[in-house]
A and B are shown apart, each in its own frame.
Chain A
Amino acid sequence: MKKTLSISESELINAPLLFFIINACQIGVGIHGFQRLIYQDAKQDAWISVIISFIFAHFIVFIMIKTLEMFPSNDLYGIHQEVFGKFIGNFFNLIYIFYSSFAFLVVLKNYIEVINVWIFPNLSATFLGASLLMIVIYAFNGGFRVLVGICFFSFICTLWVPSILFIPMEYSEISQLLPLFDNHLKDIIKGAYAMTFTIIGFEIINIVYPYVKEKNKVQRYVHLGLFATLLLYLSIMLISLTYFSGPQLEKTIWATLNLFSIIKFPFIERVEIITICLWMIIILPNLCLFAWSTHRGVIRMVNISSKKFIWIFSTVMLIFILFIKSRSQINHINNIFSHFGFVVVFVYPLFIYLMALIRNSFLKRKRTN
């Protein structure tokens, strides 16, 4: 297939929109219950793990963009083909396609599980999945710029979260954060590793990059987007650590939703139910962009129209949802995904950066000879 992308002017987006894309893609289902995963390792220093994981993410995103800058009009799939040649390149492409669709499945299934546990225990997962996929198909058919618009709305929808979390702070005990740094650095790093499931999403820059108009501003807005996510995660983590006692936090599956459940307004007593329903708008960009990312990879190998692709993709995802049933299965899959995601998002970019450097210097030498 074609090696470089030809993107028409009308499909390009402005760099500041990257802020919303990165933010919307990171905030998804992980935020509902990431606290206990990190607490298991880092105990009361879990908030430090959050910061460490974000420092690492900033570094990785920097490397990612450096790699992309070497190939200004190509996404990761194209880079694979250019660096490794067609066959090995396509092999790596397959892995990335698999990663994107796996991420799609995990987000979808986790959200359905939350709805089933908190609101509708008897509603079938297939029905929920099908109706969510309908929306994804509808949005996907609008094209890339519509997806970016959804990201923007999703960001607006997360804005109210920090403000409402001031209410549970009435029950906070600051002393539960103490003693500071009482755990081994190793445990804190382990906690940062457990953040993987929650923090990933920013790797979408690998695919979005060629669509950005002002390439020199990419770094700035991607880092800003990451930083905004850090602020949200950090505030939720700090509130959770002071609100719950440690062993209680370890037993709470969706700590963020539990935080909401103590909030009571005269006009609405169960805020968490509204929250969960609204969360659909927050996970929608996750789903759409992961589907889109899969699509970008697939069209490099198979000639398929986007409409056909999304219908086939959705059907396959729906079939997979049928097979995952119990809570323990979901946990197991989340676990596998977070290990796999760590390799793809945090380790692999370093490798591809090195390979791209070697290739470029090799080409240079060849040209001078």
Chain B
Amino acid sequence: MKKKKWFLLFVIACLILTACTEYRVLERISLVTLIGYDVEDGDVTATSVVRQINPEFESSIEIHSETAETSKGTRVKTDLQSAKKLMAGQLRVTLFGDDLAKEGIEEAIHTLAMNSEITTSIYLAVVDGKSKTLLEGQYPNIADVGQHIFNLIDHNINQQQMISSTLHEVVRDIYASFRDFALPKVKKSGEYIDISGIALFKDGKMVGSLPASDSFYVLLIRENINDGTLQLVLPGELAESSKNPPNYQPEELPIAIDAIKTKRDLKIINENEIDLSISLDCRLLEIHSSLAISDKKITEKIEKEINKKIESEIERIIKYSQEVNSDIFGFGEHFYAFTRNSKLTEEKWREIYPNLKVNVKIDTEIIRSGVFE
């Protein structure tokens, strides 16, 4: 009996003591929350935002920048600079300078995807300029630039103001044969950081960009959305048709709408033609007070004008993506999925896409217009 007890004690001791094989005490590590990559004469420059937890004081933010041949090499160099072990498990955003983005980020993304320490839910974005200058800039109102950029991207994606760019989605699209990906673009503007647009990629290389105001349309073409606000400028003649025409005759009539529910529908007509119809249920947020929006006729007119306007904007955006030959909307995937024995190859789609005819049809319905007429 006694022997058994000792044996049990031995086993318990073994299990409990050896549980400390790999410990990571929060106070003894520093957390990398954001990494920005740039390219400099063929070498990679990694700028990392590192949060250090200190039990006595507030946690501090440090920014390290190192240049090496591989991204892991920069990590080793950064490790040499910092007093605590660097851990990438809390990484939330990875930025790419636009020089690197133009050169191609496929390899950098491959490295990220290989690492089990990093989740696939981190956001990727492109910087207008160098990510080093963005991160090392002085921002009096921003305490933690890493967390700030993450929140900036995160809330805009959640509100469907910006296309989603998690590592998973980018990896999915990068390896998909008939699809290209797009990333949000961030920019330093004075003492603030803005989302400035959308970067379009082709084969992992940045080939063009769209302004941030177009992101609603890009989302509209890509998927079904249920949020996101859009401002439109409609022609001024609409105001004339109101019951009490306003004293002044505006040349333009700005309005703002908010998508409640949209549904995108693609229909293949033939190899080089596709129908894109989007139904858009929206809420009117802002309109000139003189327009009697409860009048059905006027509402219909407004809807028609909105349709026209959105159609032309979408046509412009699709045309631009065709010019740079970057199929960020996944039309190719649709072609492949809905034609039997299509024998579509990546090269063939690259030839078809610039000349693809897309017939855009928008069907807007204003279903709500606030509490005051």
Binding site for B on A (CB under 8 A): 117-118, 120, 122-123, 127, 131, 134, 171, 173, 175-179, 182, 243-248, 251, 258, 261-262, 264, 269-270
Given A120-B21, A179-B339, A248-B175; 14 other pairs, CB 8 A cutoff: A122-B22, A123-B22, A131-B15, A131-B18, A175-B334, A175-B337, A176-B333, A177-B337, A179-B342, A248-B176, A251-B175, A261-B119, A262-B166, A262-B168
CB of B155 closer than 8 Å to a CB of A = no
Which chain A residue lies CB-closest to B89?
A: A270
CA distance A175 to B168 in the complex (A): 18
Q: Let me know if A269 and B169 touch, CB within 8 A.
A: no
Report the minimum CB–CB distance from B321 to chain A (whole Å). Answer: 19
B22 CB contact (under 8 Å) in A120, A131, A248: A120
CB of B136 closer than 8 Å to a CB of A = no
B171 CB contact (under 8 Å) in A117, A173, A176, A248: A248
Which residues of the other chain, A, contact B175 by a CB distance below 8 angstroms? 245-248, 251
CB of B120 closer than 8 Å to a CB of A = yes
Q: Let me know if B169 and A179 touch, CB within 8 A.
A: no
Q: Which 4 A-B pairs have the closest CB atoms?
A: A245-B176, A178-B337, A247-B175, A248-B175
Which residues of the other chain, B, contact A177 by a CB distance below 8 angstroms? 337
Which residues of the other chain, A, contact B21 by a CB distance below 8 angstroms? 120, 122-123, 127
Given contacts A120-B22, A175-B334, contact A247 B177 (CB under 8 A): yes
* Chain B 169-193 per-residue mask, 1 if CB under 8 angstroms from chain A, else 0: 1011111110100000000000000
Which chain B residue lies CB-closest to A245?
A: B176
CB of B141 closer than 8 Å to a CB of A = no
Which chain A residue lies CB-closest to B340?
A: A179
Number of residue pairs across A and B with beta carbons under 8 Å? Answer: 71
Which residues of the other chain, A, contact B166 by a CB distance below 8 angstroms? 171, 262
A264 CB contact (under 8 Å) in B18, B121, B176: B121
A245 CB contact (under 8 Å) in B22, B179, B338, B341: B179
Q: Let me know if B120 and A262 touch, CB within 8 A.
A: yes
Which chain A residue lies CB-closest to B19?
A: A131
Binding site for A on B (CB under 8 A): 11, 15, 18, 21-22, 89, 116, 119-121, 166, 168-169, 171-177, 179, 330, 333-334, 336-342
Which residues of the other chain, A, contact B18 by a CB distance below 8 angstroms? 127, 131
CA distance A246 to B176 in the complex (A): 7
Report the minimum CB–CB distance from B108 to chain A (whole Å). Answer: 16
- 15 CB contacts below 8 A, A to B, read A117-B116, A118-B116, A120-B21, A131-B15, A175-B333, A175-B338, A178-B338, A179-B342, A245-B172, A247-B177, A248-B176, A261-B119, A261-B121, A264-B119, A264-B121
CA distance A177 to B18 in the complex (A): 47
Which chain A residue lies CB-closest to B339?
A: A179
CA distance A269 to B118 in the complex (A): 11
Q: Let me know if A182 and B22 touch, CB within 8 A.
A: no
Report the minimum CB–CB distance from B194 to chain A (whole Å). Answer: 26
Task: Give the residue among B166, B169, B171 with the most A Cβ atoms within 10 A.
Answer: B171
Report the minimum CB–CB distance from A32 to chain B (whole Å). Answer: 13
Q: Let me know if A179 and B22 touch, CB within 8 A.
A: no
CA distance A243 to B342 in the complex (A): 23
CA distance A314 to B341 in the complex (A): 53
Given contacts A120-B21, A178-B337, contact A244 B15 (CB under 8 A): no
CA distance A177 to B333 in the complex (A): 11
A262 CB contact (under 8 Å) in B121, B173, B174: B121
Report the minimum CB–CB distance from B357 to chain A (whole Å). Answer: 21
Report the minimum CB–CB distance from A162 to chain B (whole Å). Answer: 20
Q: Let me know if B119 and A270 touch, CB within 8 A.
A: yes
B169 CB contact (under 8 Å) in A131, A171, A176: A171
Q: Let me know if B121 and A247 touch, CB within 8 A.
A: no
Which residues of the other chain, B, contact A269 by a CB distance below 8 angstroms? 119
Q: Let me know if A182 and B333 touch, CB within 8 A.
A: no
Q: Let me know if B172 and A244 touch, CB within 8 A.
A: yes
Report the minimum CB–CB distance from B164 to chain A (whole Å). Answer: 8
